[in-house]
Amino acid sequence: MEQKKEKLAIITEDGHEGIQKLKDRKLTDLFSFDAITSVKQAESLPSSTDYTGAFIMTMGNKMTFTDARAIAEIVVEKSPKLRWVHTLTTGVDFLLSLKLSEAKHITFTNAKGAYTRPLAEFVLMTVLYFAKKMPVFMKQKREHKYEKHVTQLAHKAHVGIIGYGNVGRAVAKLLKDSLEAKIYAITNDPVSEEEKASLEFVGKTEDMDKMFPKVDYVVTILPLTPKTKGLINASTFKLMKPETIFMNIGRGPAVNEKDLIEALKKGTIAGAGLDVFEVEPLPQDSPLYDMDNVLLTPHSTDITDNMLDLSLDCFQTTLHNFLHNKPHFNKVNMELGY
């Protein structure tokens, strides 16, 4: 007798190419599924479904994260057999609702590790962008000026990383391999003695003030939780050196944007490389657009030509673990928010 397949609710926008990619990988041979593309469709589900898992396959474009969360809440409520929810994204702040966090019987997983390389490359690019005085030279180019300036060596740069998780470690590795950078880490999670030996400094959030005077670059890679919202603010920037280049590739609201703009205007810090913002899309009247000392990308650092494949690689591994009752390497702690 053939073993009954697991049934998944795939929460996604209508016509998402990921459905076909799942079929091309023959993953849909391993489970049956329904594609749920709207809140209305979710509301029309029977009061008790037979879903055992759910895959939130959206990046917040055609289907907003608000709708994705609302659908997930309905699916969880109507699916007594549901044991697993996976999201295409790394960040899970959009899922941190009371209804979902109270579902203790469900394991939540994310795309941990899928986007580490492109995010690390953004940091490397930003270090070189400012070390080689590209803002100055690009401005001269626009003004048809030809003036020489002294640039900096990025070799052995001192880089502080706030949020030394999966992405933070990828950033550290790339900077060490390419620039022999000296890495300072801020993390509230355990770090092995062996790993500590490879770092210049390891501290917790309350130790940031000890790190800032020692580094030339600060990279924030924080998830969005009640504890991290606005963690980087005016008092934080005042502790940094005037030469500091600040970067945010985590979650925009972890940084008080008004305070950041003020620090950039006053010269409290030298510049910033930003891929995420407090409000997205970044409002057209934001002063950040007009600041020569800001490198700005529209939350697109992890949008590469193989982005979906990278995330589906992660889903495939996680699906295998789910089907065979194996531990998940990418389990999310819904209380901590990451």
Query: How far from chain centre, in Å, is Cα 317?
Result: 20
Catalytic residue list contains 69: no
CB-neighbour burial class of residue 173 (10 A; exposed 0-12, middle 13-18, buried 19+): middle
Q: At what angle do helices 134-142 and 116-131 cross, to 10 degrees?
A: 70
Look at the block and give the residue holding tokens 């009061």.
Answer: 47
Q: Are 247 and 126 in contact (CB under 8 A)?
A: yes
Q: Which of 16, 251, 257, 278 is catalytic?
A: 251
Structure tokens that stand for 312 in this block = 């589906």
Catalytic residue list contains 243: no
Q: Which of 43, 102, 243, 280 is catalytic?
A: 280
Q: Which of 299, 320, 328, 335 is catalytic?
A: 299
Catalytic residue list contains 251: yes
Q: Are 216 and 200 in contact (CB under 8 A)?
A: no
Structure tokens that stand for 107 in this block = 């394991």
> Phi-psi region for residue 112, left (φ > 0), alpha (ψ -120 to 50) or beta?
beta
Look at the block and give the residue holding tokens 């924080």.
Answer: 222
Distance between CA atoms of 305 and 276, rounded to whole angstroms?
20
287-290 contact pairs (CB < 8 A, 24+): 287/261, 288/257, 288/261
Backbone angles phi, psi at 33, to 5 degrees: -155, 160
The runs of H, that is alpha helices, within 36-165 are 39-43, 65-78, 98-101, 116-131, 134-142
Active-site residue list: 251, 280, 299
